[in-house]
Amino acid sequence: MSRSERSSLLLAGLLATAGTAHFARPRQFDATVPRALPGSPRTWTYASGVAELALAAGLAVPRTRRVAALAAAAFFVGVFPANVKMAVDWRHRPTPQKAAAFGRLPLQVPLVLWARSVARSAEGRS
């Protein structure tokens, strides 16, 4: 298995794990949904989980990998406000929880870059 194939499947695994978590433990994700969004937080939690599972499936299939990777990069940008809300909401929690919440913010950049790299690697293979 090539390095780019492994990278694609690792990103798919990350998204599949996150998507599954949205259904297994929805309450923790509900709390991160920005209040400005219309509808119930649970609807957004489930929609996000479905999106992550769909992205994972798209990344796992070479024919759809490029489009799924570009969509994953956009998704990572789109969920950034939820991560900001979590950091703000957790600013008074114990230090380990606060560090985890604030530590997620800069991690969005490498996730976006990783997804873009997967898309570039898939360009010549579609």
Task: State the pLDDT at residue 1.
Answer: 79
Helical H segments across the chain, by residue range: 3-24, 26-30, 41-60, 65-78, 80-89, 95-123
Specify the amino acid at residue 62: P
CB–CB of 39/89 below 8 Å? no
Element (H, E) at 1: none
Grade residue 61 by pLDDT with cuts at 50, 70 and 90: very high
pLDDT digits (tens, 9 = 90+) for 3-41: 888 999 999 999 999 999 999 999 989 988 988 899 999
Q: Average pLDDT over the chain, rounded to whole?
A: 93
Task: State the pLDDT at residue 75.
Answer: 97
Task: State the pLDDT at residue 45.
Answer: 96
- The residue among 58 and 126 whose pLDDT is bigger is 58
What residues contact 53, with CB distance under 8 A and at least 6 apart?
15, 16, 19, 20
Buried b (16+ CB within 10 A) or exposed e, 80-109: eebbbbbbeebeeeeeeeeeebbebeeeee
CB–CB of 49/12 below 8 Å? no
